[in-house]
A and B are shown apart, each in its own frame.
Chain A
């Protein structure tokens, strides 16, 4: 007799075996061996997590209660599978090309990456998954209790066992589901373990069935007679339920998170669907083939009132076939474990990706760059959410009392997740479907499901009997199980009818009335026309051609040398000699990192994705690429601006340098000229003083003449030094102006009389005395100095036979303008720009000043706020002095 301890040992041994298989499969996949791991057979078998403990035990119970109705649970998925050509194929293609990680992710990315929608789907999936997990707990507990009844030791307590089963499954799911972090990668280990479990449960059920038909009933014909003779021996199904459950199971088959996980996320090759299209219905057919015989034999053999849900176990036990019972227990256990593992994996991915991570990233804004940190958080979030989901299942089981029939709990979950269907199908086939539509439809369906099915099903302490009987607040038309007065329907049919039809209606109406965002429209086009945008992605392992393509691309980006070095190093790491490394995920990841250093992460990802063919470039990729390009552009434009600024600065520096060089040259020239100017009078002073010292008998006349020369030269020297001093003072701005008021005429009079005093040259000066009645406020001595200089220049340099200097004064716009024009030959054009420079003398033939006069004039005028310019084209030398007039004068 199989005792409880043996049973527990067998369970643990079975779990260890599963671990071993998963571990070995992961190792083989990582090593690139084991092509059969990616075969259509494994894919088909992994789909069989559709058959949970509910199916394993509950189908028989269902058959014992309502005949052939149980078969609808399998017919729905069969219809979905045989319509793979236009349904599942599209779903799988979209899922692969968009790198979708869960059904919530698919919905959210279809409707413009809306996280709100993802959260809604996640909540729905968790709420729908909870009763389902409770169901698995219940079935395992019930099967334990069957063995416990037969166990003489009688140590079994139901409440504790449920807790330990839940805890054990949680640990199992955490160990299994969160070993591999990257949700994008296929979980080869888990999938292989599930495939093994599906073989085990099929084998167990077939074994029990064969035992029943040939061992108990004695062949097919007697079995058939026995069926017809039994209490369920007549075709009698509820039409509404038949259609509703067929539809519901078809919808749930697509929408259930765990089905989506194995069907879309874990899909390696689209062509596997082709095989699964017939092989999975075949599996379902085999699973349900012996359900009715087992039920009929159970009804016959077992005492009335025994739980039909456990006929699979109790029939062999009653016949004393303990080993068969043990096998069937293992089958049920495997159904429960595989379902729980995959559901927990899928739900935890959804919860951590759409609920925990957004919140975590929002609270810590700068942390997203620390990828190691994020990885730990994701891992933690998944573990915690698995534990939380299991806890929810446990509490649901405790609250519902564990009494309801297995099948009805399963159908509650089915109806819940089916609410995703309108948004999913609409998203795949209708470009006009919008985020708002999906949100509204989901909310309506979700609410109706809770109100009409979930809450009434949870018993009296959640929703009172009076509400169910008379409706909330006595509103009869709002009765949860007879909405809008539609009475007399089976509750399940009622819920399916109202929730899905109103869901679809709301979805369509809100979609028609709302306007999608640009990203939504792009994603919509990508989803609906996925076959136009993507090629069938095949498996990518072991293809050398891809390695070559990768090599060519890498060479283009990194350059030939570094690319070859990198590939060489990778090949050595893989132990491959003489050819390129295999494109393993690790290698691709490193390559992507290497490339992203040059072209940006998103671009690198998109390029590798294009070559490896795992997925097409999504809109997010494109946006990220555009973002990176924009950043590059901005960066380069910043560089450009900086370089323009630099070249401007360089030009300024060059100009400053030229100026400095010029000034230095001027200074040299100035010093040279000064020494030259000083040396000339010094030479004559020395010569004449030597003559006077050394020559005896100089006449008084001679010595007076020589002394006069010495005196004159000394005067000239003094004048030169005075001028230099004057100029230096003026140039340094140290001059203090002695401002005074006088009319222009007075100043000119004084200057003319000073110049003409003692002059022997016949310079005629023409003036317009009336025009000179301009009041000035200026340093009159300095201004007079300028005038004297100009007049004496004309006196000295005017080469006309009858030199005439015309002085004309005007008041032009608040400025006194005084022109000095003589009738000489003027200054040659090439010297005109030089006349105001120091030591600039037009001709050397005429002795006179040191060439500082006009330079001093310019400096004086500059100090006085005016200017002195040369006026070309006036016939002779012409200078214009302009001077600002005092304001009160200008105002008059």
Chain B
């Protein structure tokens, strides 16, 4: 019997690959956002809107993560940006290895901004770095104002929170003030934008944040 003392972080292999991805992004001068939310919160709609709003200023590429299917990558291409689809075949999040193979298909030098649209899931994606410069998340108002309290990790890890579907505010009981207050209690630095990706309302702050990330 041999006992070996080790101290190894369980996610070190992923963290190492994420650091390699990050080096490739930095060398190409491209900024990368890891966009996370529950399914149906509006990630792809936000990206379609963002491509329409910022596509003339910033060359945008998208890595689409889905368990299966390529509908989202097709929507992004129709919106006018390059897209690469990853199918995780069951896995509930993207990891650095999956993103490395997807970005190999993108000409990074011809892009300013890459958004990695993670698998729809409010829990697991927050645990796995993919080499991003920043994590951003969407919570749509109809999901309810108790979500920061119930799923705090993603709010803790994100630099930006977009409260989406604000156009539905008259029809739902969720209180955006409570979402914002609880999100800031978890993460005092988080930037919050109240938006409607489908009407375009409130997106200027998000665009400014992306512009600032690109200049950084």
Partners in one complex: no
